[in-house]
Amino acid sequence: MDSLLRRLYHEQEGQAVYLVAGLLIVMLGMAALSIDIGFAVHAQRELQASADAAATAGALDLSNNLSSTTAVQTAYCASGVDNNGFVSSGNGSLICPNGKSYGQNVFGDLPGVTMVSDAAATYPVVACLSQLTALGLACNNTASANAMAVEEQVRVPTFFGKLFGISSISLKAQSLAAMKGGTPAPANIEMLLDTTPSMTDPDTKCTVTGIANPTKDDCAKAGVRTLLSQLSPCAAGLSSCGTVTNGNVANAVTEVALLTFPGLYSSSAVQNDYLNCDAVNITTQLSAYAPAGTSNPPYISIVPLSSDYKTSYSSGLNGSSSDLVKAVDWQDGAGCTTSAYGLEAGSHYNVDGYNTFYATAITAAQADLSAQAGTRAKMQGAIILISDGDATAKWSTNGPPPPSGTCNRSVQNCSDFTTSAPQSAAQYECHQAITAAQTAADTANAAGLKTWVYAIAYGADTSSSSSCSSDLSPPSTPTDPHPTSNPISGCAAMQAIASDPTKFYSDNANGCLSAAHPSITSLNAIFKNISNDFLTTRLLPTSWYNGGIW
């Protein structure tokens, strides 16, 4: 017996089995741990993605001057909070803005996400960050905020951690987004400016620095200057946009064109419309309206798409060499005076001048956008129209006055249209403009992006009986001797021209008010708000919020 025990004690066969068994347990434990950690990492990424989406969506509402309540709702609806989390937070009956449903970024494998509510805040929450105000993003909107903070949380189950008493892992994701105003977005913008005689009327509600009694023309050009000052011709951070060739820099970000109605009769008149500080009177060179697609004249495009309006991302306007700036500015290097600068409005030979017709200008603007090639053909296109919406052009067998025709306005009833325009051009002019705008808004570019059409109602009438007369009482033609009345007001026409309600603005004259932007009624504020659409929201370091204490 003693010999048997001694042999068993010294026997080494089979000892590897114990080692393998021990190592197998360790390896299986590590494998199980890696699976649980891997799933947790995957869940963390999904949670962070939904938090970023929520913060960005809420920040976008701040950019659009919506209330803090609406911005918070939008952030909640764009988050990863599912049905249970949404209802348990007391939001079960909340209707998401823009008709969207909540849980827009819910991940199927990540149920139970909720918003964090602690001593710091109940998220989502808006904030006014001093870091952003220092960069020019003021909190002077409806929400009194320039950023949206979101913090989501979820507990994810473990697969093998339960063997070690760990049944779940708690995860949190924080996100902070700034409203628009930081990063420029590439775009082609066609600016349509009314230069009919009514634009020489004074605007007592408008304030233009340096001009004591500004006209509507002064105020409209000041609005365009505001737009240009907010846009960027080249990438953010560049100290110089580089060499300018034919009005453009290489790799331009946002290009802007300027069109007017009525157009001009000659190319020399086009140049004199923004050069020489009005030393040459071009109102004698106004052209009659022609059918869409007619070769020049009329010259509707005054300055083609250009990106030389600033010399760098952060510089002031480049009035010394930019035709675009010269067309709307007397200072910033333009060298003009407040009484003689930029685009000329009105007509010297008749106080009424050419009446308003802008459908063909909208069509021309879209044609210019559609003609873009290369990378610019894939950038967001936009048309911005400023008008009272009251199209009132007349057609006459006498033809237009010089230089488009020979009619003498002082003794004859002259036409606002060229002889090539059919009589039907003077019917339903406001509806013609609406159709042209809707066609533009339905046109997609090479990247599938449809044109944004902005309509700024400037002094628009809300009565269909005193505006858009060719729609209320369309003149008869040989082919349509008894046209049907289709009344519409100038205000309603401008509303219909906008590609969506958020693209419609108004100065609130005569009771014409934008439902989407009721508090934005000055032209400068309107153009500044529009410029935000050509900037992007951006995610920020979370340490910028509340000193990093979440």
Exposure letters 75-108 (e unless 16+ CB within 10 A, then b): bbbbbbbbeebbeeeebeeeebbeeeebbbbbbe
Exposure letters 48-63 (e unless 16+ CB within 10 A, then b): bbbbbbbbbbbbbbbb
184 phi/psi in degrees, rounded to 5: -70, 145
CA distances from 340 to 274, 279, 326 (A): 10, 8, 11
Compute the average pLDDT of residues 41-57.
Answer: 95
The string of pLDDT tens digits covering residues 8-36 is: 555 656 566 656 666 666 666 666 677 88
Confidence of residue 1 (pLDDT cuts 50, 70, 90): low
Collapsed DSSP state (helix, strand, coil) of residue 275 = coil
Give the whole-angstrom CA distance, residue 417 versus residue 263: 11
Residues near 385 by beta carbon (within 8 Å), at least 6 away in sequence: 192, 358, 361, 362, 437, 453, 454, 455, 456, 494, 497
Give the chain's mean pLDDT.
Answer: 88
pLDDT at 44: 95
Compute the average pLDDT of residues 544-549.
Answer: 83
Comparing C-alpha atoms, which of 468, 221, 456 is closest to residue 331? 221
CA distances from 414 to 202, 378, 405 (A): 27, 43, 9
Compute the average pLDDT of residues 526-542.
Answer: 89
Residues near 184 by beta carbon (within 8 Å), at least 6 away in sequence: 231, 232, 235, 236, 253, 254, 313, 534, 535, 536
Tell me, letter by letter, the H, E, C secondary structure of 433-466. HHHHHHHHHCCECCCCCECEEEEEECCCCCCCCC
Containing H/E element for 126?
strand 125-127
Confidence of residue 37 (pLDDT cuts 50, 70, 90): confident
Q: Which tokens hold the place of 73?
A: 């709702």
Comparing C-alpha atoms, which of 161, 147, 78 is closest to residue 113? 78
pLDDT at 84: 56
The CATH class of 186-347+354-390+427-464+486-533 is alpha beta
Percent of the chain with pLDDT over 90: 62
| Choice between 316 and 118, residue whose per-residue pLDDT is larger | 316
pLDDT at 413: 92
In terms of DSSP bridges, do strands 504-506 and 452-457 run parallel, antiparallel, or are they unpaired? parallel
Compute the average pLDDT of residues 484-498.
Answer: 97
The string of pLDDT tens digits covering residues 369-391 is: 999 999 999 999 999 999 999 99
Q: Which tokens hold the place of 550?
A: 């979440």
Residue 55 · residue 62 · CB < 8 Å: no
Compute the average pLDDT of residues 330-338.
Answer: 92
Pick the range with the lowest mean pLDDT from 323-327, 384-388, 399-403, 485-489: 399-403
Confidence of residue 351 (pLDDT cuts 50, 70, 90): very low
Give the whole-angstrom CA distance, residue 470 versus residue 488: 10
485 pLDDT exceeds 50? yes
Q: Which residue type does 277 have?
A: C
Residue matched to tokens 């049907």 = 484
Give the whole-angstrom CA distance, residue 434 versus residue 428: 10
85 pLDDT exceeds 60? no
Confidence of residue 348 (pLDDT cuts 50, 70, 90): very low
Compute the average pLDDT of residues 493-498.
Answer: 98
265 pLDDT exceeds 50? yes
pLDDT at 99: 59
pLDDT at 13: 60
Q: Which tokens hold the place of 286?
A: 């106004």
Parse the chain into domains and list their residue ranges. 15-183+539-548, 186-347+354-390+427-464+486-533
Residue matched to tokens 């936009």 = 382
How many CB atoms lie under 10 A from the CB of residue 160? 15
The string of pLDDT tens digits covering residues 435-477 is: 999 999 999 999 999 999 999 999 999 999 999 999 999 999 9
Comparing C-alpha atoms, which of 59, 229, 140 is closest to residue 519? 140
